[in-house]
Structure 1
Amino acid sequence: MSEVFTFLKGGDAPLLIVADHASRHVPADIDLGIAPHLLDDHIACDIGVAEVAGLLVEDLQCSAMLCGVSRLVIDCNRDEHAPGLIPHISDGHVIPGNEHVDHETRLARFYRPYHAALEARIAGMGQPFILSLHSFTPALAARPEERRPWEIGILYNDDDRGARVAIPLLEEEGWVVGDQLPYSGRLLNYTMNRHVEANGIPYLGVEMRQDISGTAEGQRRFARVLARVVEQCRAALA
């Protein structure tokens, strides 16, 4: 298996799920200098994303590309020169192993091959629809007073076509939906900006709240609703 990405295929539907933060994996030759339990925390990966992506791949008979390393190694959803690309601190936790790391080495080993593979995959699909899948913590440890009530956040930059279809559908099904919440896709949307918006490809950017996506039942709930919504977005934007 590639250390750069995991590719899942359930069928040939022209739909690709992209998950930049699906893995908590840290290669054995990289020492982040953190307690092992932090690799199960939200700072290491988007909790529940890999599982929901796997369910959707089967339900929708589509494919998925999941980044193969933790965002504590390198954050593939950021520009090469962005602050936090290789984080020194995350939600109050210092990452000492990243203080003196050679950025070019990690870019060459993980980041650039991931984006090259993603670019090639999308280019070979013809007329794809992309589902960008993330998750968010109900509260940051550094700011516990700021609770996040949204169950699903919809993110986009300039292209809000998928968002405008998805948001009312999700609200009709009883979900508490954040439009550009808890993060703004105008600030944190690098992978979609580069590979999708820049090429006029229709997509939907979704963030799932981790107290739901972190359980097997929550993963099934998200997969069921997203399968319906994504299919309606695809049909509306075809």
Structure 2
Amino acid sequence: MTVAATIDGGDRSLLLLADHAGAGVPDGIAIPPHLLTLHVGVDLGTDALTRALAERLDAPAILGTVSRLVIDLHRESDHPGLIPVVSDGHAIPGNVGADRVDHIARFHAPYHRVIRAAVRRDRPRLIVAIHSFTPRLETGGGPRPWEAGILYGRDDRAARPALAFLREQAIVTGDNEPYSGRRLNATLNRHAVAQGIASLSVEVRNDLIADAAGVARWCDLLARMVARVRNSLALEGGLAT
């Protein structure tokens, strides 16, 4: 199966990524089908949101098509959770004893080659990764109060204006919440930070993008957020031509 869906765009100074947009399971791999409709199997709403945002911004996008329960495209290839055997309390027995080398060669490495080729070809000045999160984990921890989160690692050039913009819009926004980009930022570390390209990950609570109206609202918000980030980077010299 194809590991990445690509969208062409006229503005190649921006690249959108959605590692967990798909819920595909290749033949011969046993994943319980009901898990593919849950947050453990796919970042719910991100396929529609990323496609809408790419159209709105006329930007290229790369979307992962393989379920995160087959292999997590957003983890390093040596990460212990790369091929999960349990996710938020759900057992994935088909992954016990999975051929790690085979999975990396068939799914993980080809996906990242697609991103690497796009970055080398276009040299985008900003990379934005789109993710979603569940309002409450099934294994506990209580409700998550955020509507969105901005995740980033050591490079916060893009994150700071993004956080400021969303908070100005009265969006309850987590700073490296519900996950820390300092601990898990594999795709952007590889394809953005290591290349000196400004970047950030956006996490949207998945119940807010569960229908067309929600996707349209968040597409508008994120399009304006990206414009703010690009203006800020330009003023700082981060988008020099």
TM-score over 0.5 (shorter chain): yes
Contact 1:15 1:63 (8 Å CA) reproduced: yes
1:167 aligns with 2:163: yes
Contact 1:136 1:209 in 2 (8 A): yes
**What SS does structure 2 have at the residue aligned with 1:124?**
helix
Is the CA contact 1:13–1:60 (under 8 Å) kept in the aligned structure 2? no
Structure 1 residue 12: Cα displacement: 3.2
Shift of 1:81: 1.1
Displacement of 1:9 in angstroms is 2.0
1:5 to 2:4 alignment: yes
In the alignment, structure 1 segments of 5+ residues that lack a partner are none
Q: Which residue of 2 aligns with 1:193?
A: 189
**Percent sequence identity over aligned pairs:** 46
| CA offset digits 1:138-186 (Å, max 9, x no partner) | 000111x511010010000100111111111111111000000010001
TM-align CA RMSD: 1.2
Residue 23 (structure 2) pairs with residue 24 (structure 1): yes
Query: What residue is the counterpart of 2:14 in the other structure?
Result: 15
| Residue number in structure 1 paired with 2:236 | none
- Contact 2:12/2:122 (<8 A) preserved: no
Change in 2 beyond 3 A, CA 1:127/1:15: closer
Q: Distance in 2 between matches of 1:3 and 1:14?
A: 25
How far did 1:92 drift?
A: 0.5
Residue 204 of structure 1 and its aligned partner are, at CA, apart by 2.2
1:113-192 equivalence runs, <5 A: 113-143=110-140, 145-192=141-188
Deviation of 1:117 after TM superposition, in Å, equals 1.3
Q: Does 1:69 pair with 2:70?
A: no
What TM-score, normalized to structure 2? Answer: 0.94
Q: 2: CA distance between counterparts of 1:24 and 1:63? A: 21
For the 8 Å contact 2:15–2:124, the answer to whether it is kept is no
Gaps of 5+ in 2: 234-238
Q: Is the 8 A contact 1:130 1:203 kept in 2?
A: yes
Mapped to 1, the partners of 2:110 and 2:34 lie a distance apart of: 28
Contact kept in structure 1, 2:147 and 2:205, CA below 8 Å = yes
Query: Which consecutive segments of 4 or more residues in structure 1 shift more than 6 A?
Result: none
Q: Does the 8 Å CA contact 2:89/2:138 hold for their aligned counterparts?
A: yes
Q: Comparing 223-232 with 210-219, which one deviates more in the overlay?
A: 210-219
The offset of 1:28, in angstroms, is 2.5
Q: Is the CA contact (8 Å cut-off) linking 2:12 and 2:124 kept in structure 1?
A: no
Conservation of the 8 A alpha-carbon contact between 1:122 and 1:128: no
Does the aligned pair in 2 maintain the 1:21–1:71 contact within 8 Å?
Answer: yes
- 2: CA distance, partners of 1:213 / 1:148: 16
Kindly tell me the number of residue pairs found equivalent between the two proteins. Answer: 234
Equivalent residue for 1:38? 35
Q: Could you report, residue by residue, the CA deviation over 1:51-110 in whole angstroms, capped at 9, with x for unpaired residues? A: 000111110001100012000000011111111100000010000000011100000000
Task: Give 2:54's aligned residue.
Answer: 57
Q: Distance in 2 between matches of 1:115 and 1:95?
A: 24
Q: TM-score, normalised by structure 1?
A: 0.95
Equivalents in 2 of 1:227, 1:121: separation in Å? 21
- How far apart are the structure 1 equivalents of 2:161 and 2:196? 17
1:229 aligns with 2:225: yes
Selected match of 2:107 from 107, 110, 114:
110
Separation in structure 2 between the aligned mates of residue 152 and residue 115 of structure 1, nearest angstrom = 26
Quote the Cα distance in structure 2 between the aligned partners of 1:106 and 1:66. Answer: 18
